[in-house]
Homo-oligomer: A and B are copies of this chain.
Amino acid sequence: MRPKNLAKEEAIRTVALQIITEEGLENLSMQRLAKAANVSPRTIYIKYENKEDFLIKLFIEEVLGAYEQAVLENFSPELGFAEGVKKIWLNTFQYLTQNRPSFALLQYGKSSPLLNQAYQKAGIRQGQFFAPIHRFLESHTAAGLIRNFPPDVHRALLFSPLLDLISEYFDYQSRPTQLITEDLVLACCEAVTKGMLT
């Protein structure tokens, strides 16, 4: 049996992320992807059932896993609230600003019905993903340190401003000076943290 050429599989995935980042998800076609990855269209269909299957697997296996790992690096649910939130913010900011394709796909996950399905499947809102953060928030809530909100609401308050700042980071990347610096992000982190306290 002829063995799989793993380099081709990888080329398909990385070229796909490149096209999505530079020209948007709507400009990624299977034929174009195949040509850019120096591969026959049929080769993509060896591993993936169809385009939808490909995108969902690209999202879950290539993006979400690495993202979660980066965000949780050196984080522990036992950390103090301010310290834990700061760690999460710094990890997220540093990882996503250095991995634009991941950020682009995460943003698409919020609007595209197709990728939104993948989100649900990955259990982001159910807390299977980022479980340590879930526990972290629950324990500090139980201790009465932070306001008693449902987990989804905690997540909205904690993460959405940060993702918005990262979006602005990329907007300003094409201009003479960068508005969104790490110091500024840490100041925002402090503001968000303070607001959540009881």
Contacts and interface: CB of A to CB of B under 8 A. Distances in A.
A112 B192 contact: no
Interface string A4-35: 00000000000000000001111000000000
A163 interface: yes
Interface string A46-86: 00000000000000000000000000000000000000000
A184 interface: yes
Interface stretch (A36-44, A89-97, A134-142, A144-152): A144-152
A150 B125 contact: no
Contact of A179 (B110, B112, B150, B194): B150
B187 A147 contact: yes
A112 B113 contact: no
B147 A113 contact: no
9 contacts: A24-B111, A24-B114, A149-B188, A150-B179, A156-B164, A160-B163, A161-B161, A191-B196, A194-B194
Contacts of A184: 149-150, 153
Nearest to A155: B164
A48 to B, nearest CB: 18
B152 A191 contact: no
Contacts of A192: 157, 195
A152 B160 CA distance: 14
Given A26-B26, A149-B184, A153-B165, 18 more contacts: A24-B112, A24-B113, A25-B111, A104-B111, A110-B110, A111-B111, A149-B187, A149-B188, A150-B184, A152-B168, A153-B168, A153-B179, A155-B164, A157-B188, A157-B191, A161-B161, A192-B195, A195-B196
A28 B24 CA distance: 16
Contacts of A113: 23-24, 26
